[in-house]
Amino acid sequence: MEETLDIKELFSNTLGDALDEYELPPPSFTIMQCEIIAFDKEKATLTTKIPVLKEWLNPYSTMQGGMIVAAMDNVLGPLSLLIAPKNMTRNIESKLIKAITMDVKYIYATASLYEAKKRRLIFDVVVKDEEGNLYTTARVTNFIL
C-alpha cells in the first residue's frame, strides 16, 4: 500500500508563510478524492492516486474524458506550485489511449517537468493503473504569472 503524503505538510515546506494564501487541498482535489503518493523535488515529478468512481462514468460506462483531464490537472497543479512561482495552465493536449472502466479501481497520474524556459513550463503527464497499463498521456504548457 502506498503512503499518502500530507498535502498541507508538503506545501508548508515549500510555501512557508505564504501557505495561508492558498486553499489546500484545493476543492477539486478533495472532490476527486486524490492522494499524493510521491513527490521528487530534484526530478520535478509528482504522482497522485485517484479512485475510479461511478460518478465519473460516461454513458459507455467508461471514465468520462473531462474527468480524466481533471485528474491530470489535479497532479499538475500541485507539482507546478511546488516547483515554480504562481502559474496557470495554458494548454493541455491529451491523448486518450485506452478506456478506463470500473474494473480499474484506481488511476495513478504522474506529472513531470519536461522543460522550463523564461515564463513557460512544459509538463508531461501519464495516467496508468496499478499494473502499469497506460491509459492517457498529455503535454501541458503553463505560464508563470
Burial per residue of 16-54, b for 16 or more beta-carbon CB atoms within 10 angstroms, e otherwise? eeeeeeeebbbeebeebebbbbebeeeebbbbbbbebee
Which residue do the cell numbers 515564463 mark?
A: 119
**Verdict on whether the full-model pTM lies above 0.85:** yes
Q: Is residue 2 part of a domain?
A: no
Q: 1 falls in which pLDDT band (50, 70, 90)?
A: low
Which residue do the cell numbers 492522494 mark?
A: 35
Q: Is residue 131 part of a domain?
A: yes
Residue 73's pLDDT is what? 96
Q: Is residue 98 part of a domain?
A: yes
Long-range CB pairs of 1-4 (<8 Å, 24+ gap) are 2/35, 2/37, 2/38, 2/49, 3/37, 4/35, 4/36, 4/37, 4/49
Point out which residues pair with 35 in neighbouring strands.
49
Number of domains in the chain: 1
The mean pLDDT of 90-108, rounded to a whole number, is 97
Q: 16 falls in which pLDDT band (50, 70, 90)?
A: confident
Q: Is residue 21 part of a domain?
A: yes
Residue range of the domain that includes 78: 7-144
Q: Is residue 124 part of a domain?
A: yes
Q: How many residues does the chain have?
A: 145
CATH classification of the domain holding 87 = 3.10.129.10
Q: Is residue 1 part of a domain?
A: no
Q: Tell me what percent of the residues of the chain surpass a pLDDT of 70.
A: 99
Q: Is residue 18 part of a domain?
A: yes
**In the numeric block, which cell numbers belong to residue 88?**
496557470
> Does the pLDDT of residue 104 top 80, yes or no?
yes
Percentage helix, strand, coil, to 5, in the chain?
30, 40, 30
- Nearest CA to 106 out of 41, 34, 55 is that of 34
